[in-house]
Structure 1
Amino acid sequence: MKHNEFTSRYKEEKLLGEGGFSQVYAGECRSTSTPVAIKHISKKDVQLVKVNCQGNVYDEILEVFLMEQAAGRLCDGSFENPAVIGLMDVFHLETEVIIIMERPPDTVDGFDYLFEIKHIPEDQVKVIFKQIINAALLMHKNGVFHRDWKLKNILVNRNNGTPEIRVIDFGCGDFVENEPFSRFYGTPAYAPPEFFRGETYKAEATTVWQIGVMLYITCTWTAFYTSVYMKKDKEVLENVSMECNDFLSQCLALDPNQRPTLEDLLLHPCVFHILKHMNPVLYDISCRTS
């Protein structure tokens, strides 16, 4: 596929962000003026996975496969997960791969949302995290381990009313396995304590830890480093409810065996009693997962 095929279909605009292996630009589809996000990955950094489709085995980009499977779009019996950002197009060029994704209007990443709103009421925080837990649970049910849950990888709709989230960036992801993982891919500051102790780590316990990290940052407005948190005495945050403090202490348990499951988190009083605040679409998602 040639580069001019990409440029004839999409117009590339400002840089939205970049990581160790990719750059993401704003853009739009030329034929429809639909906003898109355009991700460039060097060919040498692209991971492939063998896919068996009706007896035909072919190579697929791991990130693309994980994104589609996390959304429930590939395998029969998968759970539909509308919180996952949508894939629109993929270009295999000579030196790079370009992935085209949805760019929902009026959204910012969770980090920018936190600083724009300044003070997010606890009820609204709970609504956002209810959706995050739902999205994570459905991903795990679909066999996908995101591994890099952080506020920068959550898009929040800024429209008035109930904020709605979308999950992005599956570049550090993997499949949920019964066997634990030893190497960590993701944001090192948010890796679980068991990794820093030189132990293996499991998918669900890591996801629960990172949900706790995101909530801690949202509640405290401070940076988080697992290696620092491991040395601190247990703290009670004075600006949030005891329910929220209990939720945090469970997610951020240093022993992974003491952390709740994602399904347990949905039943925690911190999020369980907010269903009445959620719009019908989000409520329906909750019903399918609890």
Structure 2
Amino acid sequence: MGQCYGKNNLRPQNDDAADDSAVAVAGSADVPPSPLPPKDTPARANPWPSPFPHGGGTVTPSPARSTPRRFFRRPFPPPSPAKHIRASLAKRLGHAKAPKEGPIPEEEAAAAATEQSLDKSFGYGKNFGAKFEIGKEVGRGHFGHTCCAKGKKGDLKDQPVAVKIISKAKMTTAIAIEDVRREVKILKALSGHKHLVKFHDAFEDANNVYIVMELCEGGELLDRILSRGGKYSEEDAKVIVLQILSVVAFCHLQGVVHRDLKPENFLFTSRSEDADMRLIDFGLSDFIRPDERLNDIVGSAYYVAPEVLHRSYSLEADIWSIGVITYILLCGSRPFWARTESGIFRAVLRADPNFDDLPWPTASAEAKDFVKRLLNKDYRKRMTAVQALTHPWLRDDSRPIPLDILVYKLVKAYLHATPFKRAAVKALSKALPEDELPYLRAQFRLLEPNRDGHISLDNFKMALVRHATDAMRESRVLDIVNAMEPLAYRKMDFEEFCAAAISTYQLEAHDRWEDIASTAFEHFESEGNRPIAVEELARELNLGPSSYSVLKDWIRNTDGKLSLLGYTKFLHGVTLRSSNPRNR
């Protein structure tokens, strides 16, 4: 099970190295240890060298670094993204401080008593030994290990399987127990996708939990990357990325966020070059409702999204991880690299990936655009997995496109918007570039329009039901249909659907955004723009009187209508904080 875990920090925290030794991220019980070198290995020995000079990246120096030393007896340590992770990891894994000599303090005794009182009974079958014969170990992680096994009787008789063995002795917190319980629940609930590892059953005894799954004998994606000298050709990379996006789009529609996507967690079914991949290790995964944000920090350092470090994230965090994997596939280097975990976190938060060095100058423009739109630090501007499948780099009109939960979120927001806001996005939809339309057409077809070419609430409801697994019911994805109730009394044609199902933030990441906004504003001027008072505009944006001084700059003095600046800001629903930064 992939986990974040802490180490004892024995050095003073007055520099990056001291600050960073306290956290180690990753490790999977489903797979062998990563062939990457230890974190203290010099950068030149790394199979994926840093694209940044001196291995540090173009990270903006911490404000504390530039503080004049004469004001303080000694400089403050730099703010560390790793510091606030330690408490989260200790809570999840039950790590305690190193024991002191002498009697055990009362709080440690209480913690020990609490551990003994934990209920480690899962209600799984108790006859694992009677059904399976354990073979050799194939992987080891923090909580346990994975072995080959063979069925003794029943449907799996004489069939090879993989068994993830999780030690109950290492489940020292209620959170750790719940992680195991949730992993099994997710594996049971998710079914029906060819790139998802097949779950067979779960067992337990006094010492362990046994999760029986499909055996994938082709090794990790990471091993194949390294065997190819660190990178793939674009055409070969597309085959890998398509499989990753396909299974992740399936998980996201069901309301499951994986939270630990990395090459080690994709296994090939066989040693064949054209073998399919399977996504494994849902130990850090969770169910998530359409409008929910998660705040616990889990994952693997090189693949963690910026918003995870900010403790507010959703499905988009998985998309960032796919962007990192794609970057590695195409150039053989990690986009964010440092000698320490906190250095990696700082690079993730502040540095931009390097697209200047080889082989990027020879890569196609579509490939670079694809990776950039996955590695956008603003999660609102990232493509979804389904949108990525329709990107020009991967587009194939003969390939079926899955349903995207983002469409439901955007249509819900459109239905609850004011008439003025709907007029603004309708104008924007008329300026959409051609490469955005295949995605919208595919989503509209999946809703199966009525004979008159319109869709209603029933179309949205039935489309979700057709694609539902038990996971969708667990994550309560269907609840979003209740928030789309206004559509029960009206219909929507394709033109209005385009207006409802587009994201201004995502379009802003488009390289032609300025042209798109300008064209959209021309449509808005002729069809939807009208005089609007500052007070009314503030109400539209749900802002108070303190915003008036900013909003008045969005309205033309000549006719009282929105200017181009005001139109683009209004599309975003910009808040006062982002519109009016504090004077420094």
TM bucket, shorter chain: 0.7 to 0.9
Displacement after TM superposition at 1:132 (Å):
0.9
Aligned counterparts of 1:241 and 1:36: Cα–Cα separation in 2:
41
Counterpart in 1 of 2:264? 152
Aligned counterparts of 2:189 and 2:152: Cα–Cα separation in 1:
28
Q: What is the Cα-based RMSD across aligned positions, in Å?
A: 2.7
Q: Which residue of 281, 292, 300 maps to 1:187?
A: 300
User: What is the aligned-residue identity percentage?
Assistant: 26
Matches within 5 A, 1:1-290: 5-31=127-153, 32-43=157-168, 44=171, 47-48=177-178, 61-71=181-191, 80-105=192-217, 107-118=218-229, 120-158=232-270, 160=272, 162-177=274-289, 178-196=291-309, 198-202=310-314, 204-223=315-334, 224-225=336-337, 227=345, 228-236=347-355, 237-238=360-361, 240-273=363-396, 283=399, 286-289=400-403
Q: Which amino acid aligns with 2:235?
A: D
Larger Rg, first or second structure (1 or 2):
2
Relative to 1, partners in 2 of residues 1:160 and 1:26: Cα closer, same or farther, differing over 3 Å? closer
Relative to 1, partners in 2 of residues 1:234 and 1:115: Cα closer, same or farther, differing over 3 Å? closer
- Is 2:232–2:331's contact at 8 Å kept on the other side of the alignment? no
SS at match of 2:292: coil
Aligned counterparts of 1:90 and 1:220: Cα–Cα separation in 2:
40
- C-alpha offsets along residues 210-254 of structure 1, whole Å, 9 cap, x if unaligned? 100111222232345552244434422235322111111111111
Relative to 1, partners in 2 of residues 1:158 and 1:221: Cα closer, same or farther, differing over 3 Å? farther
Displacement after TM superposition at 1:2 (Å):
11
- Is 2:195–2:279's contact at 8 Å kept on the other side of the alignment? yes
Displacement after TM superposition at 1:61 (Å):
2.2
Aligned counterparts of 2:124 and 2:200: Cα–Cα separation in 1:
18
- Which stretch of the first structure deviates more once superposed, 257-266 or 9-18? 9-18
- C-alpha offsets along residues 21-45 of structure 1, whole Å, 9 cap, x if unaligned? 2311122223433221111112326
Counterpart in 2 of 1:76? none
- Is 2:126–2:203's contact at 8 Å kept on the other side of the alignment? no
Aligned counterparts of 2:133 and 2:267: Cα–Cα separation in 1:
22
Displacement after TM superposition at 1:5 (Å):
3.6
- Is 2:249–2:402's contact at 8 Å kept on the other side of the alignment? no
- Is 2:327–2:371's contact at 8 Å kept on the other side of the alignment? yes
Displacement after TM superposition at 1:113 (Å):
1.8
Aligned counterparts of 1:192 and 1:86: Cα–Cα separation in 2:
27
TM-score, with normalisation over the residues of structure 2? 0.41
- Is 1:147–1:172's contact at 8 Å kept on the other side of the alignment? yes
Aligned counterparts of 1:199 and 1:146: Cα–Cα separation in 2:
16
Number of matched pairs: 260
SS at match of 2:189: helix
Q: Which has the higher strand share?
A: 1
Relative to 1, partners in 2 of residues 1:83 and 1:233: Cα closer, same or farther, differing over 3 Å? closer
Q: Which runs of 5+ in 1 are unaligned?
A: 50-59, 72-79, 277-282
Aligned counterparts of 1:102 and 1:205: Cα–Cα separation in 2:
28
SS at match of 1:108: coil
Aligned counterparts of 1:101 and 1:205: Cα–Cα separation in 2:
27
